[in-house]
């Protein structure tokens, strides 16, 4: 296997891994871990303390994933001849990639807001801050699933016409 192919395989693998860590972490937190913590502990301070600890640990993974996705994404995009530049809408491939970038930027902004603004407060969170944090978590899950859908479109468009 040529070295260039091996590098592309590794870049694609890392891009997929960073995606799985970020979006998978969101889904696991929102759909399993948060409800399980609430069921086990109720609305006691221990529940909030546990979820704060989880969010702090996941924030590091998210930050690494954001940087990793940016680097590996740039390497992947330049490989496809249909890629016409960042936020270029001149063809279906570039337009889909622009949409994906917008969704990912929105996700990154939400993640940063949740961890740096809501997560770094002095004293306990108010009930409205806690509700906002949970709503933003679920918004990021929806955006993450949309990113995966658009990624599927991008792969299909980048593959060229079907031979069938």
Average pLDDT over residues 131-146: 96
User: DSSP secondary-structure letter at 125?
Assistant: P
Q: Which residues contact 144 (CB under 8 A, 6 or more apart)?
A: 22, 23, 26, 27, 107
In a domain, 55, yes or no: yes
Look at residue 164 and tell me whether its pLDDT is greater than 50: no
Alpha helices in 78-126 (DSSP H): 92-112
Q: What pTM was estimated for this model as a whole?
A: 0.87
Within-domain flag for 162: no
Q: How many domains does the chain have?
A: 1
Domain containing 30: what range? 3-157
Stretch (H or E) spanning 155: helix 127-158
For residue 164, tell me if it sits in a domain: no
Query: pLDDT tens for residues 69-115?
Result: 999 998 888 787 788 888 889 899 999 999 999 999 999 999 999 88
14-60 residue pLDDT tens: 999 999 999 999 999 999 999 998 898 888 888 888 888 888 889 89
């Amino acid at each position: 296997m040529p070295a260039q192919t091996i590098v592309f395989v590794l870049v694609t693998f890392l891009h997929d891994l960073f995606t799985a860590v970020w979006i998978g972490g969101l889904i696991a937190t929102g759909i399993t871990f948060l409800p399980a913590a609430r069921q086990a502990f109720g609305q006691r301070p221990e529940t909030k303390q546990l979820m704060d600890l989880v969010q702090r640990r996941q924030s590091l993974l998210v930050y690494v994933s954001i940087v990793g996705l940016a680097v590996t994404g740039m390497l992947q995009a330049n490989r496809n001849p249909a890629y016409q530049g960042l936020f270029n809408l001149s063809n279906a491939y570039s337009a889909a990639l622009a949409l994906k970038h917008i969704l990912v930027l929105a996700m990154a902004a939400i993640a940063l807001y949740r961890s740096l603004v809501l997560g770094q407060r002095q004293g306990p969170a108010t009930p409205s801050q806690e509700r906002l944090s949970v709503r933003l978590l679920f918004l990021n899950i929806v955006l993450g699933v949309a990113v995966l859908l658009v990624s599927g479109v991008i792969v299909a468009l980048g593959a060229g016409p079907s031979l069938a």
